[in-house]
Amino acid sequence: MEVKGDDDYGAFIERFELRPPPHSPPHQPLQGLTFAVKDIFDISGHVTGFGSPEWARTHRPATSTSPVVLAAIDAGAICVGKTVMDEMAYSINGENVHYGTPTNPCAPDRVPGGSSSGSAVAVAAKLVDFSLGTDTGGSVRVPAAYCGIFGFRPSHGIISTTNVIPMAQSFDTVGDIINHENLGDYIHHKVPSLGKFMSNTSENQTSGIPSLAAISHSMRLLQRSEFKANHGEWVNTIKPNLGPGISERVSEALSETCENIEWCCAMRTELHAALCALLEDHGVLAIPTVPGPPPKLRVEAHTLELYRARAFSLLSIAGMSRFCQINIPLGMRDNLPVSVSLLARHGADHFLLNLAQALYPTLKEQASIAWELGN
């Protein structure tokens, strides 16, 4: 294993190359682009570390490769390694006590966001053209927002999670982290409609939507229950040395009694129905991706937990509804990245990607004008 070096912003945990077959068809959609994968995806012959040295020590090398990784290679891209992630994917901060915290290229004194931390940093630092991450509670959207790049959480179940270590299956998605220069390589269809925006809605339109606090609480309970079912036995057997914050969250998950699961599932169904009625086929919900700029490095745990709770009030909307969401970077304000998110109904992934590409120049321009007027 080639361990990460000083020149890669701490993004990589392992370097290697997986290239398309020698006689692949020419002019593939991702021809010649490089990408990295979060250390949660199986690569045949490599141990999938899940952000934990003890997980890596207690698991054998994978015998097959994630079909999503293979699909990117078959489309002409070159995989150049695995990236650092938060332990067991149980954080949105991007700090890993064992492997180090990847350096946020646009705000080096701030956390990069997680749990797909290295994947976002590798793209933001232009070490790769795009990267693959996973998003359960926000693990693609948050680091993309913190690092000033595009981050796409697809509709739940649209992209295969085979040969990806599960965190909480009913929320797990495989997402892309992309620089704006490469966004067009993913999109081959024209925008069918510019959609209708739902950033400010009337009381009648939103009356059926549960409160953000209830949505967030339900998501976290469901995720704890699923995490416990997936990894409780391993944690209780190995008793891994987990980092600050991670240890407390894993302990909470293992203590989960699952008493309110039916209520949480009903909340999810209610939210999905209400948002489907609100957005219909071509509606788009515009919201902040995160509640503010990325927190500073080495902030005390209590402050981070308060920020995390606020963040999940926003992040849980897509997670609980299973809708698709894209983080769109708007630029830097006071030397910190600013972004906005667009959400669309389940299955409207191509529509949302096309819309984001079409609106990106205008959104950046309008943000710049607003900031100048505010100075």
The residues annotated as belonging to the active site are 38, 115, 139
Determine the Cα–Cα distance for residues 369 and 360; give it in Å rounded to an integer: 14
Contacts with 338 (C-beta within 8 Å, 6 or more apart), sequence order = 293, 329, 330, 331, 332, 367
Please say whether the dihedral angle defined by the alpha carbons of residues 331, 334, 337 and 340, taken in this order, is positive or negative.
Answer: negative
